Each structure stands twice: as C-alpha cells, then as structure tokens.
Amino acid sequence: MKPRPERSTQSRWRRFYAVVTRIPEGRVATYGQIAALAGFPGNAREVGYALAALPEELDVPWQRVINARGEVSLRREPGRDGFQRHLLEEEGVVFSLEGRVDLRRFGWEPGRARARSAAGGAVRKSAGRKSAGEAGRKSGAAR
C-alpha cells in the first residue's frame, strides 16, 4: 500500500492528474509543463512524485509525461522506463536513435487545433482501459 500524502498535497496532485488527463493520445508533455498548467510552476519534481503515487483506480495517462529533454525518465523499477516507451510508441510517438521524442512534433500544446483534447479532470477507470498497474502486471513491469 502506498503512503497517502497530506491533504494539501493531495489537492495539488489531483490538479496534476487533471492536467495529465487532458494530454491527447500520441502527444507528450513535460513534468514542468504539467506543473505550470496546474498552477504550480517550478514543481516538476513533485509531478513525478504524484505520478509515481498514482492511485490504481484513476485512469490517468501517466505515460504521456516525459522529461524536458524529451526522454523517458529512468525509474527505480527495472524495465519501467522501457514499458513507458512501449506505451508511447503504441500511441504513435516516435523516439530518435538517442531515445528522445521531438517535443516540437509530439509535444502537447493546450488550445492548439492539432491537439485532440480529452475532457479535463481525473476520471475513474473505465471498463475498457487498463490502469498503469494493470498494464504493468500484464507486461511484467511494476509501477
């Protein structure tokens, strides 16, 4: 069982999750971008903590958040970064030979016509979609 953050932290993390749910399939955003859009600029690291503690019952596309260099950040759990890359590639995101995503091409820009925006807010997991935990268990990766 994951430790629960304090109430003020929970509120902030819910705002992060709400922003992440808006990232369309096939697009990515950076940790810093999520923090700024949620109203907490300069808190990129906290976005990472929030996504690492993501409750399984929430359907949040955590895999769409990458670092400012366009890379999937390394994880404590072996293979987890490779699993994130796999999920992104399934959505059509292309990685360079150096393991980077072209943020100009695949970066999410809220309000731009090219972005297919989903409904905002963290939503409960739907029957047809797998949570990160379920998908991880199927692939042998742990969150």
Domain that holds residue 24: 7-106
User: Mind listing the pLDDT tens digit for each residue in 6-59?
Assistant: 667 788 999 999 999 999 999 999 999 999 999 999 999 999 999 999 988 999
User: Mind listing the pLDDT tens digit for each residue in 96-117?
Assistant: 999 999 999 999 999 875 544 3
Among the listed residues 142, 1, 2, the one whose alpha carbon sits nearest the alpha carbon of residue 81? 142
Q: 101: alpha, beta or left, given left = phi > 0 and alpha = psi -120 to 50?
A: beta
Single pTM value for the model: 0.74
- Residue 117 domain-assigned? no
- Count of domains observed in the chain: 1
- Residue 88 domain-assigned? yes
Q: If 0-12 CB within 10 Å is exposed, 13-18 middle and 19+ buried, where does residue 12 land?
A: buried
Decide if 9 contacts 52 (C-beta within 8 A): no
- Residue 135 domain-assigned? no
- Residue 52 domain-assigned? yes
Which CATH number belongs to the domain containing residue 57 in this structure? 1.10.10.10
- Please provide the average confidence, as pLDDT, over all residues in the chain: 81
